[in-house]
Amino acid sequence: MKRLPFWIKTTQAALLAIAVCFSLGATDAGSRYTDLNHRLMCTCGCAQILGECNHVGCPNSAGELGELRADIQGGASDKAILDSFVGKYGAIVLAAPTTHGFDLVAWIAPFAVFAAAMLGTILLVRRWSVGKTQTVAADTSKMDPVERERREQIRRETGEGGF
């Protein structure tokens, strides 16, 4: 049997160590609890994340956090826990909208509105700038000779091509 080079062995060991580190955090109930309570909103009306509700005397957060702990200890998956909270409290309990169906509009709409506003602003500025140069050219041909001579003198003295 052929021996593997040293660099291949060390690469394999490093990849294994990285995989172990990531898998330990993924199965830790504490990290799951923190992740899930940051994906849910408190239903007391304080408009805060469930895990960070600092509403004094909050009537809901303790019960909801207890329910979350029980679901995690019961072995439910993240999706099942989120679905049970949505079923019990409504979609308002989710801190972020889902990426399915009509909720997808909540993710797309801000970018679409921003793009439309940028396009509108660009078109408006272009229209203003094109209209202004045409207006200036038209105005100089129709202005009285004294004013035209005064503007020409200002242009010569300042060295600007404007007016």
Picking from 40, 139, 128, 143, the residue whose alpha carbon sits closest to that of residue 92 is 40
**CATH fold of the domain at 6-96:** Helicase, Ruva Protein; domain 3 (1.10.8)
Indicate the pLDDT class of residue 53, thresholds 50, 70 and 90. confident
Span 59-92, pLDDT tens digits: 888 899 999 999 999 999 999 999 999 999 988 8
Domain spans of the chain, in order of start: 6-96, 105-158
Picking from 59, 60, 64, 110, the residue whose alpha carbon sits closest to that of residue 85 is 64
Distance CA 113, CA 34 (A): 33
Contact between residue 103 and residue 46 where contact means Cβ atoms under 8 Å apart: no
Q: What is the pTM of this model?
A: 0.51
